[in-house]
Structure formats: structure tokens, C-alpha cells
Amino acid sequence: MADESYESSLCNLPRDMQLYMLSFLPFSSLGSILLLSPDWNALGKDNVLWERIFKIHFLPLYAAAKKNKKELYAADTGYWYKKFVETYAELTCNSGIPT
């Protein structure tokens, strides 16, 4: 019972607050969030969330990515997730960090 009330209290928070909280999780943990429920799945895929995560991890690249989004992908709601994955893969491949 305690788990149900805990989850429902989180779900009652405003969407902006939920996204803000999720942005502090390690990005590798967000995959687990997607499995909790349809509501959490939608939150875990939110473009605002991934924009914040991109900005936190790749701040020097953020301005250029934001400009490209406006020019090339204005209608693409998954832009920031795709950009995060692309940038992360590029940087880990180029740095010799095992993936």
C-alpha cells in the first residue's frame, strides 16, 4: 500500500516539477522510468526533459544544437533525445571510453 500512495503522490505533482525531478537522474536510469507506467513513459520521453539533460551534460554544444533545432527540426518533438544520444555516442567513440 505504501508504494501505491508514494507513486500516486508523485503523479499528482505538476508536470514541470516531475520533469525537473527526472532531470537530476543519471540519464542511464531514465530507461527504467519508462517501464513504470504509461504516464512515466511519456515523461521519460519528454523533449523538455531531454533538452535539460543535454544542456547539463553538453553545455558548450547547447547553443549550436539549439540553433540547429530551430533551423532544421522545428517540428521534431524527439530532437533533444536524438541529439543527446548522437552527441554522447560521438564523444564516447572519439575519447576511447568503452560504451
Spell out the residues 6+ positions from residue 57 whose beta carbon is closer than 8 angstroms to its own.
27, 84, 88
Domains of the chain: 2-95 (1.20.1280.50)
Cβ–Cβ < 8 Å for 45, 78: yes
Q: What angle do CA 23, 25, 31 make, to 5 degrees?
A: 100
Q: Global pTM?
A: 0.71
Contact 32, 50 (CB under 8 A): no
Tens digit of pLDDT per residue, the chain (99 long)? 445 555 567 778 898 998 888 888 887 788 788 888 888 888 888 888 988 999 988 998 898 888 776 655 555 678 888 888 889 898 888 765 554
